[in-house]
């Protein structure tokens, strides 16, 4: 599995936890973590595309 895909999977997991947790603080932290994971995955994807050129 490529790294960007693995990180996106982690983002999905964090979103799921955010939706299921009863603690609002934890939910916000998990949503923030999911956004950070997606940003990191986007950056990695761009780097992979540049290497292919």
Per-domain residue ranges for the chain?
3-52
Mean pLDDT, all residues of the chain: 94
User: Considering only CA atoms, which of 28, 49, 37 is closest in space to residue 6?
Assistant: 37
Q: Are 10 and 16 in contact (CB under 8 A)?
A: no
- Segment 30-47 shows an average pLDDT of 96
Rounded to the nearest 10 degrees, what angle do helices 24-52 and 3-20 cross at?
Answer: 170
Mean pLDDT of 24-46: 97
Q: What is the pLDDT of residue 48?
A: 84
Question: What is the average per-residue pLDDT within 23-31?
Answer: 98
Which one has a higher pLDDT value, 10 or 1?
A: 10
Per cent of the chain over pLDDT 90 is 83
């Amino acid at each position: 599995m490529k790294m960007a895909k693995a990180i996106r999977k982690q983002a999905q997991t964090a979103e799921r936890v955010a939706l299921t947790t009863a603690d609002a603080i934890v939910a916000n932290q998990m949503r923030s973590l999911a956004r950070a994971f997606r940003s990191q995955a986007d950056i990695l994807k761009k780097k992979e595309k540049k290497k292919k050129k």
